[in-house]
């Protein structure tokens, strides 16, 4: 904590300004790149296209956009607000802000929930990112040229059945992640300043390629023509859940990034930019993928295999498919990398603050532990594929626990704390909204709409409704 003294009319005015022990983002743009990098990941480029395909296209996209506006943006603003006000790791932030609000100390467990969720997600996220790295090499070297559907499926099956290969790619990706995180805020800044523009350039190149080589008109119709007869209650719940997941809410990443945000930066307008950028990437990914899918007579509703088992067929039968297929999987790697550095940051920040560790030592400890846990995911695709707990493999169980329980629960608690526990004066002071109407809309959404929607998703996932 730093004490600053200002002079005004020869009177000393003393005030306190907190800054994170880890430092601050140098500019607003650096924070936007970092938070967008956290939000833009496998969920945008791998998951969004296939769940859009499974749920009928344009009508689902519209429901998803409404969910981003009514659920994602208000909760993201609240999480950034908490981070900047606390200026510490999520655990210490929630401990101190609960004390400031005169609330029970149990709210610190919200910080623990986010840190543990991010830690668990990275353990399997790194394995899937390793697949993208492996496929970048395979597609670029022409492995899939002229391949049939059975051939592509066989290549994928042989790949995931080999634990040594999966472990090698998982290890390489974790090393890449920790090399960035070990350098602190400056390292994070430098990484996202390169990764986000590179990601956007690659994505735009792929969209242009899809326009030339694919059925772009059919893709536009599929993505933006709304047929609400295809929308079911399950589709709405899927859209709500993905809107929440894609913005990296409830896992401590946005809160700890918010702790590095300078006081002068507007939380409201910055959050809107991040949400728009995240949504734009998801839509552009759809425009890069679906034209190729339709041009090759493939199924847009082919599920999670759309990226690793369907698109390689398309790239294998197109002009310059090896080049642009390689660029696509490189894009996937960059998206995963920008997200992974945010997933481990809350744990590293806590170790530095509470255990008096150097940042390098905290990174080695966190990274090694995450890597070891990731071995469970590696083995769940081969040697321990038949080992089930609650009828789920180790990977499936971690994915279900984090995405369907921990993150919605974390987001719900964030909305409840800021909306109902934190004082109105404190939240107004941190947001610095100049228009009372804008604050009124935000606090109404945060107190009533967002938590109700998240609660519905949560209760549906655990089978109560």
Q: What pLDDT does residue 379 have?
A: 96
Whole-model pTM: value is 0.87
Q: How many CB atoms lie within 10 A of CB 313?
A: 23
Side-chain half-sphere exposure of 400, counting CA atoms within 13 A: 13
Domain 27-461 belongs in CATH node 1.10.4160: yes
Asked whether the beta carbons of 258 and 79 are under 8 A apart, the reply is yes
288 neighbors 207 (Cβ within 8 angstroms): yes
Residue 34: Cβ-neighbour burial (10 angstroms; 0-12, 13-18, 19+): buried
Angle between helices 90-100 and 108-140 (to 10 degrees): 150
d(CA 178, CA 198): 20
Confidence (pLDDT) at 20: 59
The Cα 298–Cα 304 span in angstroms is: 14
Angle at the Cα of 281 from the Cα atoms of 184 and 343, rounded to 5 degrees: 30
How far apart CA 155 and CA 133 sit, in angstroms, is 15
Residue 415 pLDDT: 94
Rg over alpha carbons for the chain, rounded to the nearest Å, is 22
The pLDDT of residue 302 is 66
Q: Residue ranges per domain, the chain?
A: 27-461
Chunked mean pLDDT (size 10), the chain, 465 residues: 38 47 76 83 78 84 90 93 92 94 92 91 93 93 87 90 96 94 81 84 88 89 82 80 79 88 88 90 87 82 72 84 89 87 89 90 95 96 90 89 84 94 91 86 94 82 69
Q: What is the dihedral of CA 183, 185, 187, 190, to 10 degrees?
A: -170
**pLDDT the model gives residue 443:** 95
Chain-centroid distance of CA 254 in Å reads 9
């Amino acid at each position: 904590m730093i004490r600053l003294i200002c002079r005004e009319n020869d009177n000393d005015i003393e005030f306190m300004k907190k800054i994170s022990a880890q430092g601050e983002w140098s500019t607003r743009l650096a924070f936007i790149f970092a938070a967008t990098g956290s939000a833009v990941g496998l969920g945008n480029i791998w998951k969004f296209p296939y769940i859009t395909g499974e749920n009928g296209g344009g009508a689902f996209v519209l429901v998803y956009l409404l969910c981003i506006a009514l659920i994602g943006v208000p909760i993201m603003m609240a999480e950034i607000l908490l981070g900047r006000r606390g200026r510490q790791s999520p655990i210490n932030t929630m401990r101190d802000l609960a004390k400031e609000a005169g609330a029970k100390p149990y709210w610190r467990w919200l910080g623990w929930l986010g840190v543990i969720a991010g830690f668990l997600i990275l353990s399997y996220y790194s394995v899937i990112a390793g697949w993208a790295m492996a496929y970048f090499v395979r597609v670029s070297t022409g492995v899939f040229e002229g391949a049939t559907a059975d051939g592509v499926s066989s290549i994928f099956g042989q790949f995931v059945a080999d634990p040594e290969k999966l472990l090698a790619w998982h290890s390489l990706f974790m090393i890449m992640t920790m090399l960035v995180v070990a350098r602190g805020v400056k390292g994070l800044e430098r990484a996202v300043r390169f990764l986000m523009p590179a990601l956007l350039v690659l994505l735009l190149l792929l969209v242009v390629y899809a326009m030339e080589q694919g059925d772009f008109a059919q893709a536009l119709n599929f993505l933006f023509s709304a047929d609400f007869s295809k929308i079911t209650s399950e589709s709405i719940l899927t859209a709500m859940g993905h809107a929440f997941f894609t913005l990296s809410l409830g896992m401590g990443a946005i809160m700890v990034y918010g702790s590095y945000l300078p006081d002068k930066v507007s939380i409201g307008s910055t959050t809107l930019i991040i949400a728009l950028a995240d949504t734009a990437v998801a839509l552009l990914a759809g425009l890069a993928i679906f034209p190729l899918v339709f041009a090759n007579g493939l199924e847009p509703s082919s599920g999670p295999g759309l990226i690793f088992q369907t698109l390689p067929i398309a790239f294998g039968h197109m002009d310059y498919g090896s080049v642009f297929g390689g660029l696509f999987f490189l894009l996937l790697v960059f998206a995963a990398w920008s997200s992974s550095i945010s997933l481990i940051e809350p744990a590293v920040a806590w170790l530095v603050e509470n255990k008096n560790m150097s940042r390098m030592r905290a990174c080695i400890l966190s990274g090694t532990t995450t890597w070891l846990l990731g071995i469970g995911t590696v083995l769940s695709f081969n040697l321990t594929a038949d080992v089930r707990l609650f009828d789920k493999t180790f990977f499936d169980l971690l994915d279900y626990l984090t995405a369907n329980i921990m993150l919605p629960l974390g987001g719900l608690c964030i909305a409840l704390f800021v909306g109902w526990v934190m004082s109105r004066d404190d939240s107004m002071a941190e947001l610095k909204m100049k228009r009372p109407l804008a604050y009124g809309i935000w606090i109404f959404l945060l107190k009533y709409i967002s938590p109700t929607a998240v609660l519905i998703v949560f209760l549906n996932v655990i089978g109560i409704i």
